[in-house]
Amino acid sequence: MNEEGWPGSHTEGDMIIDIIISSLINGSVYAILAIGFSLIFGVARIVNIAHTAFYMLASYWIYFGTQTLGINPILCMLVAIILVTLIGLISYKLFIDPIREHEGAVLIGTIALAMVFQEIMLISFGGDFLGVPSLVEGYMKIFGVKVAYQQLLTFGVVLLVLAAVWALLLKTRLGLAIRSTANDREVANLMGMNESRVALITMGISVGLAAFSGAVIVPLKIVNPFMWMGPLIMMMAVVVLGGLGSIKGSFVGAYILGFAESLVVFLIPMGAYLKGSVALSIMILVLLIRPEGLFGVAFEEER
Amino acid sequence: MLLDVLNLTVCYDKAMLINDLSMGVDTGELVSLIGPNGAGKSTLLRAITGLVAWEKEITRRSAGRNVTLDGSITFAGERIDRIPAHEIVKRGLIHCPERRRPFREMTVLDNLHAGAYLLKEKAEMEENLDKVYQLFQPLKARSRQISGTLSGGEQQMLAIGRALMSRPKLLCIDEPSTGLAPIMRAEVFEKIGEIRGLGITVLLVEQEVSAVFKMASRNYVLSSGKIIAEGPGDRLLEDEVLRKTYLGL
Protein backbone atom coordinates (compact mmCIF):
# COMPACT_ATOMS: atom_id res chain seq x y z
CA MET A 1 0.00 0.00 0.00
CA ASN A 2 1.20 3.47 -0.70
CA GLU A 3 1.84 5.29 2.54
CA GLU A 4 3.82 8.13 1.04
CA GLY A 5 1.96 11.37 1.53
CA TRP A 6 3.95 13.52 -0.85
CA PRO A 7 4.57 12.27 -4.34
CA GLY A 8 3.15 14.59 -6.93
CA SER A 9 6.19 16.56 -8.06
CA HIS A 10 6.92 16.72 -11.71
CA THR A 11 10.37 17.98 -12.61
CA GLU A 12 13.54 16.06 -11.89
CA GLY A 13 14.90 18.69 -9.51
CA ASP A 14 11.68 18.61 -7.55
CA MET A 15 11.91 14.90 -7.35
CA ILE A 16 15.41 14.98 -5.90
CA ILE A 17 14.27 17.36 -3.17
CA ASP A 18 11.26 15.15 -2.52
CA ILE A 19 13.49 12.11 -2.26
CA ILE A 20 15.84 13.84 0.16
CA ILE A 21 13.06 15.13 2.38
CA SER A 22 11.11 11.93 2.53
CA SER A 23 14.26 9.90 3.15
CA LEU A 24 15.31 12.21 5.98
CA ILE A 25 11.92 11.95 7.64
CA ASN A 26 11.52 8.23 7.15
CA GLY A 27 15.15 7.67 8.06
CA SER A 28 14.72 9.59 11.32
CA VAL A 29 11.63 7.61 12.25
CA TYR A 30 13.38 4.34 11.44
CA ALA A 31 16.32 5.55 13.51
CA ILE A 32 14.10 6.09 16.55
CA LEU A 33 12.35 2.76 16.05
CA ALA A 34 15.61 0.89 15.50
CA ILE A 35 17.38 2.54 18.45
CA GLY A 36 14.52 1.58 20.76
CA PHE A 37 14.58 -1.97 19.41
CA SER A 38 18.38 -2.15 19.76
CA LEU A 39 18.32 -0.81 23.30
CA ILE A 40 16.09 -3.51 24.73
CA PHE A 41 17.83 -6.16 22.67
CA GLY A 42 21.21 -5.02 23.92
CA VAL A 43 20.22 -4.82 27.57
CA ALA A 44 17.93 -7.82 27.93
CA ARG A 45 18.44 -9.81 24.71
CA ILE A 46 14.75 -9.37 23.98
CA VAL A 47 13.90 -9.45 20.28
CA ASN A 48 10.75 -7.42 20.55
CA ILE A 49 8.68 -8.10 17.43
CA ALA A 50 5.86 -6.13 19.05
CA HIS A 51 8.03 -2.99 18.99
CA THR A 52 6.27 -1.45 16.00
CA ALA A 53 2.90 -2.61 17.33
CA PHE A 54 3.43 -0.03 20.08
CA TYR A 55 4.08 2.48 17.30
CA MET A 56 0.73 1.48 15.84
CA LEU A 57 -1.02 1.81 19.21
CA ALA A 58 0.25 5.38 19.52
CA SER A 59 -0.96 6.22 16.01
CA TYR A 60 -4.41 4.85 16.80
CA TRP A 61 -4.55 6.76 20.04
CA ILE A 62 -3.75 10.00 18.19
CA TYR A 63 -6.53 9.22 15.72
CA PHE A 64 -8.96 8.38 18.52
CA GLY A 65 -7.91 11.30 20.72
CA THR A 66 -7.95 14.01 18.09
CA GLN A 67 -10.78 12.79 15.83
CA THR A 68 -13.22 11.16 18.24
CA LEU A 69 -12.53 12.82 21.57
CA GLY A 70 -11.33 16.11 20.13
CA ILE A 71 -8.35 16.52 22.43
CA ASN A 72 -5.65 19.04 21.61
CA PRO A 73 -3.11 17.28 19.33
CA ILE A 74 -0.02 18.21 21.39
CA LEU A 75 -1.63 17.02 24.61
CA CYS A 76 -2.77 13.94 22.75
CA MET A 77 0.82 13.17 21.77
CA LEU A 78 2.04 13.39 25.34
CA VAL A 79 -0.80 11.16 26.52
CA ALA A 80 0.02 8.73 23.70
CA ILE A 81 3.60 8.38 24.87
CA ILE A 82 2.64 7.89 28.53
CA LEU A 83 -0.28 5.57 27.79
CA VAL A 84 1.57 3.35 25.33
CA THR A 85 4.64 3.20 27.57
CA LEU A 86 2.40 2.02 30.38
CA ILE A 87 0.84 -0.61 28.14
CA GLY A 88 4.36 -1.64 27.13
CA LEU A 89 5.54 -1.97 30.73
CA ILE A 90 2.46 -3.95 31.74
CA SER A 91 2.83 -6.34 28.82
CA TYR A 92 6.54 -6.64 29.63
CA LYS A 93 5.80 -7.56 33.23
CA LEU A 94 3.02 -9.98 32.33
CA PHE A 95 4.23 -11.65 29.16
CA ILE A 96 7.92 -10.99 28.51
CA ASP A 97 9.70 -10.78 31.86
CA PRO A 98 8.63 -14.25 33.08
CA ILE A 99 10.07 -15.89 29.94
CA ARG A 100 12.94 -13.44 29.47
CA GLU A 101 15.72 -16.01 29.78
CA HIS A 102 14.14 -18.13 27.10
CA GLU A 103 15.03 -16.37 23.85
CA GLY A 104 12.88 -18.50 21.56
CA ALA A 105 9.86 -18.07 23.79
CA VAL A 106 10.38 -14.31 23.89
CA LEU A 107 10.41 -14.18 20.10
CA ILE A 108 7.16 -16.12 19.83
CA GLY A 109 5.61 -14.24 22.74
CA THR A 110 6.27 -10.85 21.22
CA ILE A 111 4.88 -11.94 17.84
CA ALA A 112 1.74 -13.05 19.67
CA LEU A 113 1.61 -9.74 21.51
CA ALA A 114 1.79 -7.81 18.23
CA MET A 115 -1.01 -9.95 16.77
CA VAL A 116 -3.14 -9.31 19.84
CA PHE A 117 -2.73 -5.55 19.44
CA GLN A 118 -3.47 -5.83 15.73
CA GLU A 119 -6.68 -7.78 16.35
CA ILE A 120 -7.80 -5.46 19.12
CA MET A 121 -7.39 -2.50 16.76
CA LEU A 122 -9.19 -4.40 13.99
CA ILE A 123 -12.14 -5.12 16.29
CA SER A 124 -12.27 -1.64 17.79
CA PHE A 125 -11.69 0.50 14.69
CA GLY A 126 -12.33 -1.87 11.81
CA GLY A 127 -9.97 -2.45 8.92
CA ASP A 128 -10.53 0.95 7.31
CA PHE A 129 -7.65 3.21 6.40
CA LEU A 130 -7.87 6.17 8.71
CA GLY A 131 -6.14 9.52 8.47
CA VAL A 132 -5.15 12.25 10.86
CA PRO A 133 -4.90 15.80 9.51
CA SER A 134 -1.68 17.76 9.81
CA LEU A 135 -0.92 19.44 13.08
CA VAL A 136 0.18 22.55 11.23
CA GLU A 137 -1.18 23.58 7.87
CA GLY A 138 0.72 25.25 5.10
CA TYR A 139 4.04 24.79 3.40
CA MET A 140 7.23 26.59 2.55
CA LYS A 141 9.34 26.41 -0.57
CA ILE A 142 12.81 24.89 -0.45
CA PHE A 143 14.64 25.29 -3.77
CA GLY A 144 11.25 25.89 -5.30
CA VAL A 145 9.70 22.70 -3.99
CA LYS A 146 6.73 22.69 -1.66
CA VAL A 147 7.61 21.24 1.70
CA ALA A 148 4.78 20.96 4.21
CA TYR A 149 5.36 22.44 7.66
CA GLN A 150 4.16 19.13 9.06
CA GLN A 151 7.14 17.40 7.45
CA LEU A 152 9.61 19.94 8.82
CA LEU A 153 8.03 19.80 12.25
CA THR A 154 8.16 16.01 12.31
CA PHE A 155 11.79 16.01 11.23
CA GLY A 156 12.77 18.65 13.80
CA VAL A 157 11.06 16.94 16.72
CA VAL A 158 12.51 13.60 15.77
CA LEU A 159 16.03 15.06 15.67
CA LEU A 160 15.49 16.59 19.11
CA VAL A 161 14.45 13.24 20.53
CA LEU A 162 17.44 11.51 18.93
CA ALA A 163 19.70 14.09 20.59
CA ALA A 164 17.94 13.52 23.92
CA VAL A 165 18.46 9.76 23.65
CA TRP A 166 22.11 10.32 22.86
CA ALA A 167 22.52 12.56 25.91
CA LEU A 168 20.66 10.11 28.12
CA LEU A 169 22.91 7.25 27.11
CA LEU A 170 26.23 9.06 27.25
CA LYS A 171 25.78 11.71 29.91
CA THR A 172 23.66 10.21 32.67
CA ARG A 173 24.08 7.61 35.38
CA LEU A 174 21.12 5.65 33.98
CA GLY A 175 22.78 5.70 30.56
CA LEU A 176 25.96 4.31 32.11
CA ALA A 177 23.97 1.47 33.66
CA ILE A 178 22.19 0.76 30.37
CA ARG A 179 25.44 0.66 28.40
CA SER A 180 27.20 -1.45 31.03
CA THR A 181 24.34 -3.93 31.20
CA ALA A 182 24.26 -4.17 27.41
CA ASN A 183 28.02 -4.85 27.39
CA ASP A 184 28.11 -7.48 30.11
CA ARG A 185 25.11 -7.88 32.37
CA GLU A 186 26.85 -10.19 34.82
CA VAL A 187 29.66 -7.72 35.48
CA ALA A 188 27.12 -4.88 35.58
CA ASN A 189 25.46 -6.83 38.38
CA LEU A 190 28.77 -7.00 40.21
CA MET A 191 29.13 -3.22 39.96
CA GLY A 192 25.84 -2.79 41.80
CA MET A 193 23.55 -2.24 38.83
CA ASN A 194 20.22 -3.95 39.32
CA GLU A 195 20.08 -5.75 36.02
CA SER A 196 16.37 -6.57 36.05
CA ARG A 197 15.47 -2.99 36.97
CA VAL A 198 17.71 -1.64 34.22
CA ALA A 199 15.92 -3.99 31.81
CA LEU A 200 12.52 -2.72 32.96
CA ILE A 201 13.53 0.93 32.60
CA THR A 202 15.08 0.23 29.20
CA MET A 203 11.84 -1.44 28.12
CA GLY A 204 10.01 1.73 29.15
CA ILE A 205 12.39 3.93 27.17
CA SER A 206 12.22 1.60 24.19
CA VAL A 207 8.42 1.50 24.06
CA GLY A 208 8.31 5.22 24.78
CA LEU A 209 10.44 5.84 21.69
CA ALA A 210 8.19 3.60 19.57
CA ALA A 211 5.13 5.46 20.87
CA PHE A 212 6.75 8.79 20.17
CA SER A 213 7.57 7.87 16.58
CA GLY A 214 4.05 6.57 16.01
CA ALA A 215 2.53 9.71 17.49
CA VAL A 216 4.69 12.14 15.60
CA ILE A 217 4.54 10.53 12.13
CA VAL A 218 0.82 9.78 12.13
CA PRO A 219 -0.25 12.81 10.03
CA LEU A 220 2.09 11.57 7.28
CA LYS A 221 0.90 7.96 7.41
CA ILE A 222 -2.29 6.02 7.02
CA VAL A 223 -3.63 4.45 10.19
CA ASN A 224 -4.71 0.82 9.85
CA PRO A 225 -4.37 -2.40 11.87
CA PHE A 226 -1.52 -3.69 9.69
CA MET A 227 0.58 -0.53 9.74
CA TRP A 228 3.09 -2.13 12.13
CA MET A 229 4.36 -4.66 9.61
CA GLY A 230 6.02 -2.35 7.08
CA PRO A 231 8.04 -0.43 9.69
CA LEU A 232 8.87 -3.72 11.45
CA ILE A 233 10.56 -5.07 8.34
CA MET A 234 12.33 -1.76 7.75
CA MET A 235 13.44 -1.58 11.37
CA MET A 236 14.77 -5.14 11.31
CA ALA A 237 16.69 -4.37 8.12
CA VAL A 238 18.11 -1.23 9.75
CA VAL A 239 19.22 -3.14 12.79
CA VAL A 240 20.82 -5.90 10.73
CA LEU A 241 22.55 -3.37 8.49
CA GLY A 242 23.82 -1.27 11.37
CA GLY A 243 24.77 -4.18 13.57
CA LEU A 244 22.54 -5.74 16.20
CA GLY A 245 22.88 -3.92 19.49
CA SER A 246 24.82 -0.98 18.06
CA ILE A 247 23.12 2.39 18.60
CA LYS A 248 25.42 4.15 16.16
CA GLY A 249 24.73 1.41 13.62
CA SER A 250 20.98 1.84 14.02
CA PHE A 251 21.35 5.56 13.43
CA VAL A 252 23.45 5.27 10.26
CA GLY A 253 21.56 2.23 8.96
CA ALA A 254 18.23 4.02 9.37
CA TYR A 255 19.20 6.87 7.06
CA ILE A 256 20.74 4.51 4.50
CA LEU A 257 17.51 2.49 4.39
CA GLY A 258 15.35 5.59 4.49
CA PHE A 259 17.20 6.83 1.43
CA ALA A 260 17.05 3.49 -0.37
CA GLU A 261 13.33 3.32 0.30
CA SER A 262 12.66 6.79 -1.06
CA LEU A 263 14.74 6.12 -4.17
CA VAL A 264 12.71 3.03 -4.93
CA VAL A 265 9.38 4.67 -4.18
CA PHE A 266 10.05 7.73 -6.32
CA LEU A 267 12.10 6.32 -9.19
CA ILE A 268 10.51 2.96 -9.90
CA PRO A 269 6.92 2.81 -11.14
CA MET A 270 4.75 1.22 -8.47
CA GLY A 271 7.89 1.37 -6.31
CA ALA A 272 5.91 1.67 -3.11
CA TYR A 273 5.08 -2.00 -3.39
CA LEU A 274 8.78 -2.84 -3.48
CA LYS A 275 9.74 -1.17 -0.18
CA GLY A 276 9.65 -4.41 1.74
CA SER A 277 11.67 -6.31 -0.83
CA VAL A 278 14.36 -3.64 -0.86
CA ALA A 279 14.65 -3.87 2.90
CA LEU A 280 14.74 -7.64 2.86
CA SER A 281 17.29 -7.73 0.02
CA ILE A 282 19.57 -5.42 1.98
CA MET A 283 19.08 -7.62 5.04
CA ILE A 284 20.02 -10.79 3.14
CA LEU A 285 23.03 -9.13 1.50
CA VAL A 286 24.34 -7.90 4.85
CA LEU A 287 23.85 -11.29 6.45
CA LEU A 288 25.74 -12.94 3.58
CA ILE A 289 28.60 -10.48 3.29
CA ARG A 290 29.05 -8.99 6.75
CA PRO A 291 26.80 -10.68 9.32
CA GLU A 292 27.86 -8.40 12.17
CA GLY A 293 26.62 -5.35 10.21
CA LEU A 294 28.33 -2.00 9.77
CA PHE A 295 29.11 -1.26 13.40
CA GLY A 296 28.27 -4.50 15.10
CA VAL A 297 30.61 -6.47 17.26
CA ALA A 298 30.90 -10.20 16.80
CA PHE A 299 29.04 -11.69 19.74
CA GLU A 300 31.09 -13.51 22.30
CA GLU A 301 29.95 -16.51 24.20
CA GLU A 302 29.61 -14.79 27.53
CA ARG A 303 27.90 -11.51 28.04
CA MET B 1 36.62 -13.01 60.35
CA LEU B 2 35.71 -10.50 57.65
CA LEU B 3 34.45 -13.22 55.34
CA ASP B 4 33.17 -16.52 56.64
CA VAL B 5 32.04 -19.35 54.40
CA LEU B 6 30.42 -22.22 56.25
CA ASN B 7 29.46 -25.63 54.83
CA LEU B 8 28.94 -24.23 51.35
CA THR B 9 27.67 -26.64 48.70
CA VAL B 10 27.02 -25.57 45.11
CA CYS B 11 25.52 -27.88 42.50
CA TYR B 12 24.89 -27.30 38.80
CA ASP B 13 22.42 -30.02 37.88
CA LYS B 14 24.06 -33.17 39.22
CA ALA B 15 27.61 -31.80 39.24
CA MET B 16 28.71 -30.78 42.71
CA LEU B 17 31.17 -27.94 42.13
CA ILE B 18 31.59 -26.95 45.77
CA ASN B 19 31.31 -29.71 48.34
CA ASP B 20 30.59 -28.76 51.96
CA LEU B 21 33.35 -26.17 51.99
CA SER B 22 34.27 -23.86 54.86
CA MET B 23 36.86 -21.10 54.71
CA GLY B 24 37.42 -17.57 55.90
CA VAL B 25 39.36 -14.37 55.32
CA ASP B 26 40.45 -12.02 58.10
CA THR B 27 40.74 -8.25 57.76
CA GLY B 28 44.10 -7.24 56.28
CA GLU B 29 44.97 -10.66 54.94
CA LEU B 30 45.87 -11.66 51.42
CA VAL B 31 44.41 -15.13 51.04
CA SER B 32 44.87 -17.23 47.94
CA LEU B 33 42.77 -20.02 46.46
CA ILE B 34 44.85 -22.39 44.37
CA GLY B 35 44.24 -25.73 42.78
CA PRO B 36 43.83 -27.44 39.43
CA ASN B 37 41.37 -26.37 36.73
CA GLY B 38 37.82 -27.29 37.62
CA ALA B 39 38.57 -27.42 41.34
CA GLY B 40 35.81 -24.90 42.01
CA LYS B 41 37.91 -21.79 42.69
CA SER B 42 35.95 -19.49 40.41
CA THR B 43 32.65 -21.01 41.50
CA LEU B 44 33.55 -20.25 45.10
CA LEU B 45 34.21 -16.59 44.25
CA ARG B 46 31.00 -16.46 42.22
CA ALA B 47 29.07 -17.92 45.15
CA ILE B 48 30.58 -15.38 47.55
CA THR B 49 29.71 -12.37 45.40
CA GLY B 50 26.18 -13.54 44.62
CA LEU B 51 26.62 -14.58 41.00
CA VAL B 52 25.71 -18.20 41.68
CA ALA B 53 22.48 -17.09 43.33
CA TRP B 54 21.79 -14.82 40.38
CA GLU B 55 22.44 -17.63 37.94
CA LYS B 56 20.14 -19.82 40.01
CA GLU B 57 17.40 -17.26 39.59
CA ILE B 58 17.77 -16.82 35.84
CA THR B 59 18.19 -20.52 35.08
CA ARG B 60 15.10 -21.24 37.11
CA ARG B 61 13.21 -18.91 34.77
CA SER B 62 14.66 -20.36 31.61
CA ALA B 63 14.02 -23.93 32.75
CA GLY B 64 17.67 -24.57 32.01
CA ARG B 65 20.21 -25.86 34.48
CA ASN B 66 19.20 -26.51 38.02
CA VAL B 67 21.53 -24.58 40.32
CA THR B 68 21.46 -25.10 44.07
CA LEU B 69 23.36 -23.32 46.81
CA ASP B 70 23.43 -24.42 50.45
CA GLY B 71 25.38 -23.31 53.49
CA SER B 72 26.06 -19.82 54.72
CA ILE B 73 28.27 -16.93 53.66
CA THR B 74 28.85 -14.14 56.16
CA PHE B 75 30.54 -10.87 55.36
CA ALA B 76 31.37 -8.34 58.11
CA GLY B 77 28.91 -10.07 60.42
CA GLU B 78 26.01 -10.17 57.96
CA ARG B 79 24.61 -13.14 56.06
CA ILE B 80 25.01 -12.33 52.36
CA ASP B 81 24.05 -15.59 50.68
CA ARG B 82 20.43 -14.45 50.29
CA ILE B 83 21.26 -10.95 49.10
CA PRO B 84 21.12 -10.26 45.32
CA ALA B 85 24.50 -9.79 43.61
CA HIS B 86 23.94 -6.12 42.82
CA GLU B 87 23.47 -5.28 46.50
CA ILE B 88 26.56 -7.05 47.73
CA VAL B 89 28.99 -4.47 46.37
CA LYS B 90 27.38 -1.87 48.64
CA ARG B 91 28.66 -3.80 51.63
CA GLY B 92 32.26 -3.50 50.51
CA LEU B 93 32.77 -6.81 48.75
CA ILE B 94 33.76 -6.66 45.09
CA HIS B 95 34.61 -9.29 42.53
CA CYS B 96 37.08 -8.70 39.70
CA PRO B 97 35.97 -11.47 37.33
CA GLU B 98 37.87 -14.08 35.39
CA ARG B 99 39.07 -13.08 31.91
CA ARG B 100 39.01 -9.43 33.05
CA ARG B 101 35.78 -8.61 31.24
CA PRO B 102 35.96 -4.85 30.88
CA PHE B 103 32.86 -3.26 29.32
CA ARG B 104 34.49 -3.63 25.93
CA GLU B 105 32.59 -1.01 23.96
CA MET B 106 32.97 1.67 26.62
CA THR B 107 35.90 3.98 27.27
CA VAL B 108 38.37 3.40 30.09
CA LEU B 109 36.89 6.33 32.01
CA ASP B 110 33.31 5.02 31.58
CA ASN B 111 34.44 1.64 32.85
CA LEU B 112 35.88 3.26 35.96
CA HIS B 113 32.73 5.34 36.44
CA ALA B 114 30.70 2.14 36.19
CA GLY B 115 32.83 0.72 39.00
CA ALA B 116 31.85 3.69 41.15
CA TYR B 117 28.18 3.33 40.18
CA LEU B 118 26.89 3.20 43.74
CA LEU B 119 28.93 6.11 45.08
CA LYS B 120 26.64 9.04 45.69
CA GLU B 121 29.24 11.76 46.20
CA LYS B 122 30.94 13.08 43.10
CA ALA B 123 33.94 14.23 45.14
CA GLU B 124 34.42 10.74 46.52
CA MET B 125 34.38 9.35 43.02
CA GLU B 126 36.97 11.84 41.79
CA GLU B 127 39.15 10.96 44.75
CA ASN B 128 38.90 7.24 43.96
CA LEU B 129 39.64 7.97 40.33
CA ASP B 130 42.83 9.78 41.33
CA LYS B 131 43.87 6.84 43.48
CA VAL B 132 43.23 4.34 40.70
CA TYR B 133 45.12 6.47 38.17
CA GLN B 134 47.99 6.75 40.63
CA LEU B 135 48.11 3.00 41.00
CA PHE B 136 47.68 2.28 37.31
CA GLN B 137 49.27 5.22 35.53
CA PRO B 138 48.90 3.85 31.96
CA LEU B 139 45.11 4.03 32.38
CA LYS B 140 45.15 7.79 32.81
CA ALA B 141 46.73 8.41 29.42
CA ARG B 142 44.18 6.06 27.86
CA SER B 143 41.09 7.30 29.66
CA ARG B 144 39.27 8.15 26.41
CA GLN B 145 40.22 4.92 24.65
CA ILE B 146 37.65 2.17 24.04
CA SER B 147 38.58 -0.52 26.54
CA GLY B 148 38.22 -3.39 24.06
CA THR B 149 41.27 -2.03 22.22
CA LEU B 150 43.57 -2.13 25.26
CA SER B 151 46.26 -4.78 25.63
CA GLY B 152 45.61 -7.73 27.92
CA GLY B 153 47.72 -6.28 30.73
CA GLU B 154 46.00 -2.92 30.49
CA GLN B 155 42.60 -4.60 30.50
CA GLN B 156 43.57 -6.42 33.68
CA MET B 157 44.63 -3.15 35.27
CA LEU B 158 41.35 -1.62 34.17
CA ALA B 159 39.38 -4.51 35.64
CA ILE B 160 41.15 -4.21 38.97
CA GLY B 161 40.89 -0.42 38.87
CA ARG B 162 37.16 -0.66 38.13
CA ALA B 163 36.75 -2.96 41.14
CA LEU B 164 38.70 -0.55 43.35
CA MET B 165 36.45 2.36 42.36
CA SER B 166 33.76 1.04 44.70
CA ARG B 167 36.08 1.39 47.73
CA PRO B 168 35.94 -2.27 48.72
CA LYS B 169 36.89 -3.75 52.05
CA LEU B 170 37.48 -7.10 50.39
CA LEU B 171 38.64 -7.43 46.80
CA CYS B 172 38.20 -10.84 45.16
CA ILE B 173 40.36 -11.25 42.06
CA ASP B 174 39.95 -14.20 39.75
CA GLU B 175 43.06 -15.30 37.84
CA PRO B 176 44.56 -11.91 37.08
CA SER B 177 47.74 -13.25 35.50
CA THR B 178 46.19 -15.74 33.07
CA GLY B 179 47.00 -14.99 29.46
CA LEU B 180 49.50 -12.22 30.21
CA ALA B 181 53.17 -11.93 29.20
CA PRO B 182 55.57 -12.78 32.05
CA ILE B 183 56.60 -9.16 32.55
CA MET B 184 52.95 -8.11 32.85
CA ARG B 185 52.27 -10.92 35.29
CA ALA B 186 55.02 -9.67 37.56
CA GLU B 187 53.56 -6.19 37.38
CA VAL B 188 50.06 -7.38 38.17
CA PHE B 189 51.32 -9.22 41.25
CA GLU B 190 53.26 -6.15 42.32
CA LYS B 191 50.09 -4.06 42.02
CA ILE B 192 48.12 -6.55 44.08
CA GLY B 193 50.78 -6.20 46.76
CA GLU B 194 50.37 -2.42 46.61
CA ILE B 195 46.59 -2.75 46.92
CA ARG B 196 47.04 -4.78 50.06
CA GLY B 197 49.36 -2.02 51.29
CA LEU B 198 46.40 0.36 50.95
CA GLY B 199 44.60 -1.63 53.63
CA ILE B 200 42.33 -3.62 51.32
CA THR B 201 41.87 -7.29 52.11
CA VAL B 202 42.43 -9.49 49.06
CA LEU B 203 41.10 -12.92 48.13
CA LEU B 204 43.07 -14.10 45.14
CA VAL B 205 42.41 -17.02 42.80
CA GLU B 206 45.56 -17.90 40.88
CA GLN B 207 47.33 -20.62 38.91
CA GLU B 208 50.78 -19.08 39.34
CA VAL B 209 51.57 -20.84 42.61
CA SER B 210 55.18 -19.68 43.15
CA ALA B 211 54.31 -15.99 42.83
CA VAL B 212 51.27 -16.37 45.07
CA PHE B 213 53.15 -18.17 47.85
CA LYS B 214 55.57 -15.26 48.12
CA MET B 215 52.85 -12.74 48.86
CA ALA B 216 49.87 -14.52 50.41
CA SER B 217 49.47 -14.71 54.17
CA ARG B 218 47.48 -17.92 53.82
CA ASN B 219 46.54 -20.28 51.01
CA TYR B 220 43.70 -22.69 50.48
CA VAL B 221 44.31 -25.60 48.13
CA LEU B 222 41.10 -26.71 46.40
CA SER B 223 40.41 -29.95 44.63
CA SER B 224 37.02 -31.24 43.45
CA GLY B 225 35.18 -28.57 45.39
CA LYS B 226 36.88 -29.31 48.70
CA ILE B 227 39.70 -27.70 50.60
CA ILE B 228 42.43 -30.28 50.89
CA ALA B 229 45.10 -28.14 52.53
CA GLU B 230 45.48 -24.75 54.12
CA GLY B 231 48.38 -22.67 55.39
CA PRO B 232 51.25 -20.36 54.49
CA GLY B 233 53.15 -21.20 51.30
CA ASP B 234 56.34 -22.55 52.85
CA ARG B 235 54.43 -25.00 54.99
CA LEU B 236 52.38 -26.27 52.05
CA LEU B 237 55.60 -26.83 50.13
CA GLU B 238 56.90 -29.15 52.84
CA ASP B 239 54.22 -31.69 51.95
CA GLU B 240 55.76 -33.78 49.19
CA VAL B 241 52.51 -35.30 47.88
CA LEU B 242 50.67 -31.99 47.85
CA ARG B 243 53.56 -30.29 46.09
CA LYS B 244 53.83 -32.88 43.32
CA THR B 245 50.13 -33.66 42.81
CA TYR B 246 48.39 -30.35 43.23
CA LEU B 247 50.90 -27.56 43.01
CA GLY B 248 53.01 -28.89 40.16
CA LEU B 249 56.24 -27.73 41.74
A145-196: pLDDT as tens digits: 888 898 899 999 999 999 999 999 999 999 999 999 999 999 999 999 999 9
**Which residue on chain A is closest to B88 by alpha carbon?**
A192
Using the predicted structure, report yes or no on whether residue B92 has a pLDDT greater than 60: yes
Averaged pLDDT for residues B138-156: 95
For B171, phi then psi, to 5°, come to -110, 120
**What confidence tens digit (pLDDT) does each residue in B185-233 have?**
999 999 999 999 999 999 999 988 989 999 999 999 999 999 999 999 9
A98 touches chain B (CB under 8 A): yes
Dihedral of CA A25/A27/A29/A32: which sign?
A: negative
> A8 — contact with chain B (CB < 8 Å)?
no
User: Please, what is the angle between helix A149-171 and helix A195-217, to 10°?
Assistant: 170
For B105, the closest of A173, A183, A186 (CB atoms) is A183
| Distance (Å, whole) CA A227 – CA A130 | 11
Contact across the interface for A189 and B50, Cβ inside 8 Å: yes
- pTM (two decimals): 0.92
Whether residue B61 lies within 8 A of chain A, CB to CB, comes out as yes
CA distance A213 to A245: 20
How many structural domains is chain B composed of? Answer: 1
The predicted model gives A258-269 an average pLDDT of: 91
By residue range, what is the domain housing residue B229? 3-247
Kindly report the nearest CA distance between residue A117 and chain B, in angstroms. 26
Average pLDDT, chain A: 90
CATH of the domain at B206: 3.40.50.300
The stretch B161-181 carries a mean pLDDT of: 96
Question: Average pLDDT in the B125-137 region?
Answer: 96
Top residue of B66, B89, B117 to mutate, by most chain A CBs within 10 Å, is B117
User: Between B62, B99, B114, which is nearest A191 by CB?
Assistant: B114
Q: A21 CA to chain B: closest CA distance, Å? A: 33
Q: What is the pLDDT of residue A49?
A: 97
Cβ pair B224, B193 in contact under 8 A: no
Q: Average of pLDDT values for A8-27?
A: 80
Residue A75 confidence (pLDDT) above 80: yes
Considering only CB atoms, A183 lies closest to which of B54, B63, B106, namely B106
Q: Residue A3 above 70 pLDDT?
A: no
pLDDT digits (tens, 9 = 90+) for A78-109: 999 999 999 999 999 999 999 988 889 999 99
Beta bridge partners of residue B220, listed in sequence order: B33, B230
CB contact under 8 A, B101 and A195: no
Q: Using one digit for the tens of pLDDT, what is the confidence trace for B26-66?
A: 999 999 999 988 999 999 999 999 999 999 988 887 767 89
Residue A2 has pLDDT above 80, yes or no: no
B127-131 contacts, C-beta under 8 A, 24 or more apart = B128/B164, B128/B165, B128/B167, B129/B165, B131/B164, B131/B198
Q: Which amino acid is at A3?
A: E
